[in-house]
Amino acid sequence: MSSRIDLQQYGQAVLEHVQRGVYPESEQVISAELPPSAFAAVSKLIEQAREDVKVSIRQNSRESAQDVDGWISQAKQLRVDIQKSRETAREIVEQAQEGERLEEQHNDAASKVQLLNGEVAFNKSLSATLERLQVIQRKLDLIERAGLDDRLPEAVNVLCEVDRDLESISISRATRVAGVLGPKIAGLRSHVVEQLTKCWNIYINVDTSTSSINITGPSGSEKTSSYDVTSVIEAMSKLNLYDDVLLRLCKDFESLILHPRLRVRGNGTVGTLKIDGRVISVSGQSSDLSAQSVFSDIDAIISFLRRSLPPAVNGPLSNLLMPHLISRLISTWLASAVPEDLDGMEDFKDTLSLVEQFGGTLDTYGWPGAEELIEWAKNIPTVWSRKYLEHSLDNVRILLSKGLGTIETVERVETQVLSRDDQVFAGNGGGEDWNAGWSDEESTSPAKKKHPVIDLKGYDEDEEDVSAWGLDDENEGGDLGRDQEPIGGADDESEAWGWGDEKEDEGAMKLSEASTIGPKKTKSNGIPDAPHQAEREVTLKETFNITILPKEILEIIAQTLSDSKMLESPEYAKSVVTAAAPNLLPIPGLILAMYRASAPSSYSHHTSGSMFLYNDCLWLAEHLQQLPLHQTTASGKRVQFRKFHNLNLNSHIQALRSFGKRAYAKEMEVQRTIIADLLDGAQGFRDCTEYPYKQDCDVAVASTIDRLRDLNQEWKGVLSHSALLQSLGSLISTVTNKIIIDVEEMSDISEPESQQLATYCNRIATLEDLFLPTKEQAPNISPDDKNYEQEPVPLTAIYAPHWLKFRYLANILESSLVDIKYLWTEGELGLEFDTAEVTDLIVALFADSPHRRNAVAEIRRRRGVRQ
């Protein structure tokens, strides 16, 4: 390939690359190797090109020689200019440095001048201060000489000038001058104050040992001969000492004179005021506690001060002394002088006359306090009614703090129209728990008879139908005695005040009248019998026990209403408290609220306190309901209260009934809890034939029976017989319901277990002897009557819900399968048990067999009455 390339091409390619840096375009030239033989041709060609360049440079140099000379000349001139610029810049830098040096010298000189000016000003100020200090020093010397020469007013004036001079100088306390002048000025001031105080004490000598104050005047000392007390007061005022001295005098006068004279000691005496010339003191004892004596002594004290002290002292002293004196006079003497009732009102008129006279005396003297006394006298009706309220509430508090007091037996008698077949003729006594379900509206017409009701406490809504007993009407009217009522702990105290009772629906304030147990006779299981038309009028009597508290409360309320009525009579038309008559009407409500608030703590000390509280509240509510008719007070006055249009105790009576029933419900709930806990010891009566479970069951049943009998013994002396039966019936219902539930929950009951359970049921059944009726429960019924029974029938089924079901359960546990089926098909077992309950008991009691299956099928086919 190299043989094909000309040597000239080699040289040309190298030359173009050297001159222009390009590569040959021919592929052959690029890929060919440069042979040594081509070096000569390449060298020659390069040399030729160099010569051509030189020739070209020479030619160009000849043509541009003139321009180059001009450029060289300009470059030299530029060098000269640059040199001059450097010299100019150097001169500028030197001048700038010189300016800075001169500025520093100027600033230094200015600082020196300023320092010299400050020194001159300081020297002038120091000179002026020293001159002022020299003047102050001369004044201090003058104060010292004036003090030694007994020229206190002059010393005080100069001392005030010194204070003003010191304020104008404003010397720092850290300076030595202040350290020298400060103690000296303080010493002189202390000396002047001591001298002024000594002069004041000489003028007014307070002796705490003898509880006396001696106002001697300036003649009592030689040191006070050059000035009078007015000068001393002016000097003290200039030093801001007079207010403190006057306040101390006021406190001394109160503690030594006023307080001993106005304070009643424990033995019922007060101090005796004694004024001897310019000496006033209080010592000894006086039993005269009349208002006339107090006002006389106060007038004598004010006269003594006006006579002995100058106006400069009397004016400020009266402004300090009288507010405390009037306040103490009103809060102690005048407040205690206000009578607590109407009996002392005639004597109180004399006290009011003394108040008016004393107020006029204060106006004459120009002393303050008359306006407060006049204002108090104008508010006497309000003050008296407030005192009356406090006294009434305090009587209630004292009454409740003494405990329950004596126990009284009270009787309630009612005439009832009852059907011949009613429970009264069966020895039930009407079944009325009047103690728990009194009607809120007592009929005043003899033709309008009340009918007995039974308030079934503890009944649940899902229990048997009791509509035939007339309970629905009572519940609709507000059955406040139901045990299902919320029983609170802390809420009982707040509810005791009756707050919010006014907002209750008006219908809840009046219980509906008791339903009539009319011609339609009903059994305890709710099945009606054939009606009987015969009716008879009987008189029902029941006794129960209350404490003395409700009678005392009723007497207080009656006396309050009597006093309010008397204030409206012509006899008290001109009395100063006639306007207080309307203020007495709210007091009975507050008394009842006080009773409800304090009663829980007072009744809690008695074992049957809750039941006594229940009886007392309902007895008091019943008699309060009669107050709008008339009441005989302790003084024998018969007062008609119907004319009190604003007297409305309905809400308070309703609150009182509710409070009593809540106490009853709470006690019943507590006893239910105790009985439930006792029965819980049986652990559902499972394995009741095996040790140790049998022992636990025996203890649980025995403890429950003992508890119920103890409660019967405890409540027998408190509740009426019907209320007692109702309470015990509710508790027994708790026992029977729990036993029924426990037995029905057993899926397998062996024969020994059924016998043992029946034994437990029979032991519980012995409590029937607690429900035997009394003779008083069947009044006006002759023993010859065909319905009269010589042997009383227990009323357990009436007062203890599901008692018959419990007795049937005992029969089922002891009966055979044939007997159970007979009781279901031919007897009254279906009245108490439903199909599911009976079949579950049969499955639990008897083993699986054709007889059991046939019996279950027969029972399911022939549903009981309840279904």
Rounded CA-CA distance 197/206 in Å is 12
* Angstrom distances, CA of residue 834 to CA of 266, 804, 845: 78, 14, 17
Residue predicted with more confidence, 314 or 658: 658
Calculate mean pLDDT across residues 372-380: 85
Q: Does position 368 have pLDDT exceeding 80, yes or no?
A: yes
The answer to whether the beta carbons of residues 482 and 657 sit under 8 Å apart is: no
| Residue 122 confidence (pLDDT) | 79
Span 477-484, average pLDDT: 35
**How many whole angstroms separate alpha carbon 218 and alpha carbon 154?**
18
**Using one digit for the tens of pLDDT, what is the confidence trace for 260-280?**
888 888 787 888 888 888 888
Bigger pLDDT: 207 vs 761:
761
Q: What is the band of 176 on the pLDDT scale with cuts at 50, 70, 90?
A: low
* 653 Cβ contact list (under 8 Å, min separation 6): 440, 621, 624, 625
pLDDT at position 227 is: 60
Given a contact cutoff of 8 angstroms between Cβ atoms, the answer to whether 460 and 644 are in contact is no
- In this prediction the pTM is 0.63
Q: Give phi and psi for 825, each to the nearest 5.
A: -85, -35
pLDDT in tens, 593-633: 999 998 888 898 888 889 999 999 999 998 888 775 444 54
Q: Are 776 and 542 in contact (CB under 8 A)?
A: yes
Looking at residue 428, its pLDDT comes to 40
Residue 476 confidence (pLDDT) above 50: no
How is residue 634 written in tokens? 């302790």
> Half-sphere exposure of residue 173, counting CA atoms within 13 Å on the CB side?
2
> What is the per-residue pLDDT for 172?
59
Percentage of the chain beyond pLDDT 90 is 16
Average pLDDT estimate for 580-587? 85
- Confidence check: pLDDT of 33 > 70: yes
Residue 701 binned pLDDT confidence (cut-offs 50, 70, 90):
very high
Distance CA 248, CA 243 (A): 9
In this structure, the number of other CB atoms found within 10 A of the CB of residue 757 comes to 25
Confidence band of 200 (pLDDT split at 50, 70, 90): confident
- The runs of H, that is alpha helices, within 21-151 are 27-31, 39-63, 65-148
Q: What is the pLDDT of residue 357?
A: 86
Strands 212-215 and 270-276: unpaired
pLDDT, tens only, 330-340? 888 888 878 87
Residue-level pLDDT at 470: 32
pLDDT at 276: 84
- pLDDT above 70 covers a percentage of the chain that reads 73
Q: What pLDDT is attached to residue 540?
A: 76
**In this predicted structure, what is the pLDDT of residue 495?**
40
Backbone phi, psi, residue 546, to 5°: -130, 165
Report which of residues 447 and 187 the model is more confident about.
Answer: 187
* Number of Cβ within a 10 Å radius of residue 426: 19
Comparing 424 with 231, the larger pLDDT belongs to 231
Q: Which two tokens stand for residue 431?
A: 């079944």
Q: Which CATH number fits domain 672-861: 1.10.357.150, 3.30.2420.10, 1.20.1260.10, 1.25.40.90?
A: 1.10.357.150
- The stretch 517-525 carries a mean pLDDT of 34
